[in-house]
Amino acid sequence: MDNFIDVILPIPLQKLFTYKITKAEASFLKNGMRVAVEFGKSKIYTALVYKIHQIPPIGYEAKEIYQILDDIPVVNKIQINHWEWISSYYMCSLGEVYRAALPSAFLLESETEVQLVKDFTNEEGLSNEEFLIFEALQHQSQLSIQQIVEIIGKKTVFPIIKTLIDKNAIVVKEQIYEQYKPKLEKYVRLTEEWNASEKLSELMDSLSRAKKQRAIILTFFQLQSAKKPIKITQLQEDSNSSSAVIKSLIDKGIFEIYFIQTDRISFDGKSGKIKELTSHQEEAFIAIKENFKTKQTVLLKGVTSSGKTEVYVKLIKKIIDEGKQVLYLLPEIALTTQLIDRLQLYFGEYLSVFHSKYSMNERVEVWNNVLENKQKAQLILGARSSMFLPFSNLGLIIVDEEHEPSFKQYDPAPRYHARDSAIVLAKQHNAKVILGSATPSIETFYNAQQGKYGLVELNRRFGNVLLPEIELVDVKEKYRKKRMTGHFSDRLLEMITEALDNKEQVILFQNRRGFAPVVECETCGVSPQCPNCDVSLTYHNYRKELRCHYCGHRQAMPHNCGACGSANLNTKGFGTEQIEIELLELFPKAKVGRMDLDTTRGKYSYQKILGQFQSQEIDILVGTQMLSKGLDFANVSLVGIMNADNMLNFPDFRAHERSYQLMVQVSGRAGRASKRGKVAVQTYNPNHQILQQVSTTAFEEMYKEQLEERWQYHYPPFYRIIKITLRHKDFNRVEEGAIWLGKSLISIFKHDILGPSTPGISKIRNYYIRTLIVKIPQKQSLAVSKKQIQRVKNAFQAINEFRSIRFNIDVDNY
């Protein structure tokens, strides 16, 4: 009898594909191992063994596999079950989940391109075949696997490529190289023994005969009055002394050196004791444990700076002590050194970080550590994709800032929500889930209210610091009275001045990056448009160019209007870059930093800017959304929200909820350590209900109002929504397809269909877009509705003219 395997291919296929294997292969292979196979027109893929059996496929002759790539399974049974849930819930193929789940280095295929590692020199360490590839790459900057197959003269090349990657000779091309490597900056401070002002005279006396050392101490105290950490280089410069003298003070135990920026996550052996919980935190900790007795998932709703992290730490400790793994999920952007540092101090030898910005090798390393259940992989900190790691023994999943939109993957498929998928994953491991937020999403709070999740609250900030005082500034009024300078009201300027005078730091939040969203001709009113997308181009002052944020198109800033030729081009609206420029003029002495997508491209760039802010080299930090997430700076006393209206006016059913969350989170950055912070919100609509709720942190009032609207307008949590997007380069074709699809869906779902409609941005990268929304009431079966949608999709794709239209389904597209 012949032997066969069903495999998952990393492409969207509706069914699993079957290959033939030999008897020897059958006795060696296990589910979850990878094999190299040919599929389609001589394309090679890395497939995953799903099932081993003896039933030949119907309708085609099974091909043989090329070779087995693993000695042990790299994917386990629980993972496959989880993928199956994702594939069925989010209506995508198992292959798409497989592709998203594994690090790309595990998924070599014929189109994969490889490149030489620049400084590779160990040629002697290469085998003959490896050397052939190495040599070819001397002449050609990159090679596809297909080309390598031709060079070596056989199809079984994946293992050779794997060893070349292991030897660090080549890399898979998609890898992003890191430009910025942070260097460790050395700072100096008094040792604990001498760090008290009354010790100063004693110290000076003891150095009475060391003139140079005395001079350094005096300079040190001068610098210290600025309340900023002191760099060793600065101390040396200002005191006009040599490093040898400073070193002698260190040797004497008077000074000590410390570092502020840390780079790659490696455990330096330092560890700290877990903090004693306050009585409120202790109560919350006990309540969570109590809730876990009957509930799988608990929402920890704790105001900003209430010490949620410290409560998580206690829970993590408990689970690790029980010998189980912990997954700590956080929104993409929040992977700051701050949290990593804190967790590293407590769990250094147990902690690994998994991040999409990490290099391929680092990701493979973490994958393997988790697979082998190594000590270092007992606590995994990562963004949404870390949920796909090969956990075998999860005890707890923490979803921090659970309301964050970046837990949802929009493109490509699988279009999953990491919070919801994590809850399912936890069920499969029989593990617990804690969802944490100061501003829970409506759907999570609803689930807690319904008793589906447990609810534990922490309503006090650590140290009993009051929540910041929020002031709404009416800019319409300010404009009328001519009290605006650029985009700053006199009130906000006054508050900034006061903070800077007190040597405190300021955060300014602006919802847009770049200098000004659009350039407009003052004569004819036309704005330059992206040639590929239906959007106006954005002006970037730094390079004096126009850019499209959707497709990356760039062009130089024109001198004349393309429509009428007039030279009166004006920039309209404002972004982070313009705020930064205005600040430089308004506060020439202050050091201003900016944090947005443009300034934080590299892996370390967040850390660089945040490190500078932390070490108080930056006085005012201007930024977008990124600033709202979990940052903890003791010296920030003022947060300014430059323009609250552009969030509120966003055309989306969650705009109000999101605005509330964003503003409360940003405000939460103020006054965390001791003094009550201040927040100024500039707006044209100070009476807007959401702004009123933000200013009093009236979460439950906001929740009730939003929930009522959701009920009235048929939105989640009362209705499920599934969004279908059609894309094609031919305008008429996508239009016809959308009309056909709309009619078919309406015949099934009646009035619960919205559209077909043209989205706000109707063309991206030359593809015209149409969308349809299916709303599914709670009483209607979700599974049945999905089957119906799938049937309509199959019928749609059976129509010749429509076959080339891209058809995306997004379940829970919010």
Q: Which is nearer to Zn ion, 230 or 764 (CB)?
A: 764
Interacting residue with Zn ion among 550, 587, 684, 807 (CB under 5 A): 550
Beta-bridge partners for 187: 231, 258
Q: Is 306 in the site for ligand ADP (CB under 6 A)?
A: yes
Interacting residue with Zn ion among 248, 361, 523, 571 (CB under 5 A): 523
Please state, as a whole number, how many other Cβ atoms lie within 10 Å of the Cβ of residue 232: 18
State which of positions 332-361 bind Zn ion (CB under 5 A): none
Q: Which is nearer to ligand ADP, 71 or 276 (CB)?
A: 276
**Tokens, residue 318:** 């408990």
Q: Is 443 in the site for ligand ADP (CB under 6 A)?
A: no
Interacting residue with Zn ion among 107, 300, 470, 561 (CB under 5 A): 561
Contact region with ligand ADP (CB under 6 A), list: 148-156, 305-313, 413-421, 735-743:
305-313
713 burial level (CB within 10 Å; 0-12, 13-18, 19+): exposed
State which of positions 186-205 bind ligand ADP (CB under 6 A): none
Q: Which is nearer to ligand ADP, 474 or 632 (CB)?
A: 632
State which of positions 657-686 bind ligand ADP (CB under 6 A): 672
Distance in angstroms between the alpha carbons of the first and the last residue of the chain: 51
Count H helices, E strands: the chain?
A: 26, 37
Q: Which is nearer to ligand ADP, 540 or 672 (CB)?
A: 672
Interacting residue with ligand ADP among 304, 505, 536, 693 (CB under 6 A): 304
Q: Which residues contact 288 (CB under 8 A, 6 or more apart)?
A: 298, 300, 311, 315, 434, 454, 456
551 binds, among ligand ADP, Zn ion, none (CB under 5 to 8 A by kind): Zn ion
DSSP structure class, residue 396:
E
Contact letters for ligand ADP, residues 310-329 (x by CB under 6 A)? x-------------------
> Smallest gap, in angstroms, from Cβ of residue 316 to Zn ion?
44
Q: Which is nearer to Zn ion, 183 or 559 (CB)?
A: 559
User: CA-to-CA distance for 383 and 329, rounded, in angstroms?
Assistant: 6
- Sequence-ordered alpha helix ranges (H) in 274-388: 279-292, 308-321, 337-347, 360-371
User: CA-to-CA distance for 459 and 175, rounded, in angstroms?
Assistant: 44
Q: Are 772 and 724 in contact, with CB atoms under 8 Å apart?
A: yes
Contact letters for ligand ADP, residues 453-482 (x by CB under 6 A)? ---------x--------------------
Helix (H) or strand (E) holding 743: helix 731-749
306 binds, among ligand ADP, Zn ion, none (CB under 5 to 8 A by kind): ligand ADP
Q: Which is nearer to Zn ion, 566 or 790 (CB)?
A: 566
Q: Which is nearer to ligand ADP, 215 or 277 (CB)?
A: 277
Q: Is 563 in the site for Zn ion (CB under 5 A)?
A: yes
Contact region with Zn ion (CB under 5 A), list: 275-283, 522-530, 577-585, 622-630:
522-530
Number of alpha carbons in the 13 Å side-chain half-sphere of residue 268: 11
Q: Which is nearer to Zn ion, 463 or 565 (CB)?
A: 565
Q: Is 278 in the site for ligand ADP (CB under 6 A)?
A: yes
260 burial level (CB within 10 Å; 0-12, 13-18, 19+): middle
State which of positions 612-641 bind ligand ADP (CB under 6 A): 632
- Kindly state the number of chain residues that form the binding site for Zn ion, as judged by CB under 5 A: 15
Q: Is 551 in the site for Zn ion (CB under 5 A)?
A: yes
**Tokens, residue 719:** 């209705």
Q: Is 520 in the site for ligand ADP (CB under 6 A)?
A: no
> Smallest gap, in angstroms, from Cβ of residue 643 to ligand ADP?
25
Backbone φ, ψ for residue 242 (5° rounding): -100, 160
> Smallest gap, in angstroms, from Cβ of residue 540 to Zn ion?
14
Q: Is 275 in the site for ligand ADP (CB under 6 A)?
A: yes
CA nearest to 719, candidates 651, 775, 773, 670:
775
Buried b (16+ CB within 10 A) or exposed e, 356-389: ebbbbebbbbbbebbbeeeebbbbbbbbbbbbbb
User: CA-to-CA distance for 429 and 674, rounded, in angstroms?
Assistant: 42
Q: Are 773 and 723 in contact, with CB atoms under 8 Å apart?
A: yes
Q: Cα–Cα–Cα angle for 284, 288, 293, nearest 5°?
A: 150
Q: Which residues contact 610 (CB under 8 A, 6 or more apart)?
A: 336, 337, 338, 595, 631
Q: Which 3 state secondary structure label does DSSP give 770?
A: strand
User: CA-to-CA distance for 614 and 630, rounded, in angstroms?
Assistant: 14
Q: Which is nearer to ligand ADP, 446 or 633 (CB)?
A: 633
User: CA-to-CA distance for 600 and 49, rounded, in angstroms?
Assistant: 39
309 binds, among ligand ADP, Zn ion, none (CB under 5 to 8 A by kind): ligand ADP
Q: Which is nearer to ligand ADP, 18 or 337 (CB)?
A: 337
User: CA-to-CA distance for 138 and 98, rounded, in angstroms?
Assistant: 33
Can you give 218-251 as a three-state secondary structure string?
A: HHHHHHHCCCCCEEHHHHHHHCCCCHHHHHHHHH
> Smallest gap, in angstroms, from Cβ of residue 544 to ligand ADP?
40
Contact region with Zn ion (CB under 5 A), list: 3-11, 235-243, 521-529, 538-546:
521-529
Q: Are 345 and 352 in contact, with CB atoms under 8 Å apart?
A: no
Interacting residue with Zn ion among 47, 394, 533, 648 (CB under 5 A): 533
681 binds, among ligand ADP, Zn ion, none (CB under 5 to 8 A by kind): none
Residue 193's identity, in one-letter code, is: E
Q: Are 535 and 559 in contact, with CB atoms under 8 Å apart?
A: no
Q: Which 3 state secondary structure label does DSSP give 32?
A: coil
695 binds, among Zn ion, ligand ADP, none (CB under 5 to 8 A by kind): none
**Tokens, residue 724:** 């279908």
281 binds, among Zn ion, ligand ADP, none (CB under 5 to 8 A by kind): ligand ADP
Question: To which residue do tokens 């009431």 refer?
Answer: 777
Interacting residue with Zn ion among 553, 675, 688, 793 (CB under 5 A): 553
Residue 573's identity, in one-letter code, is: G
User: CA-to-CA distance for 42 and 34, rounded, in angstroms?
Assistant: 18
Contact region with ligand ADP (CB under 6 A), list: 91-99, 271-279, 390-398, 483-491:
271-279
Interacting residue with ligand ADP among 132, 215, 260, 277 (CB under 6 A): 277
550 binds, among ligand ADP, Zn ion, none (CB under 5 to 8 A by kind): Zn ion
Q: Are 180 and 602 in contact, with CB atoms under 8 Å apart?
A: yes
**Tokens, residue 63:** 């091909």
523 binds, among ligand ADP, Zn ion, none (CB under 5 to 8 A by kind): Zn ion
**Tokens, residue 678:** 């201040």
Q: Which is nearer to Zn ion, 119 or 411 (CB)?
A: 411
- Kindly state the number of chain residues that form the binding site for ligand ADP, as judged by CB under 6 A: 16
Beta-bridge partners for 129: none
Q: Which residues contact 263 (CB under 8 A, 6 or more apart)?
A: 181, 182, 184, 604, 607
Contact region with Zn ion (CB under 5 A), list: 116-124, 265-273, 558-566, 715-723:
558-566
> Smallest gap, in angstroms, from Cβ of residue 565 to Zn ion?
7
State which of positions 103-132 bind Zn ion (CB under 5 A): none
User: CA-to-CA distance for 756 and 741, rounded, in angstroms?
Assistant: 8
Q: Is 521 in the site for Zn ion (CB under 5 A)?
A: yes
Contact letters for ligand ADP, residues 231-270 (x by CB under 6 A)? ----------------------------------------
462 binds, among ligand ADP, Zn ion, none (CB under 5 to 8 A by kind): ligand ADP
Q: Which is nearer to ligand ADP, 310 or 404 (CB)?
A: 310
> Smallest gap, in angstroms, from Cβ of residue 309 to ligand ADP?
3
Query: Using CB under 6 A as the criterion, which residues of the chain lie in contact with ligand ADP when the complex forms?
Result: 275-278, 281, 302, 304-310, 462, 632, 672
Query: Using CB under 5 A as the criterion, which residues of the chain lie in contact with Zn ion when the complex forms?
Result: 521, 523-524, 526, 530, 532-533, 548, 550-551, 553, 561, 563-564, 566
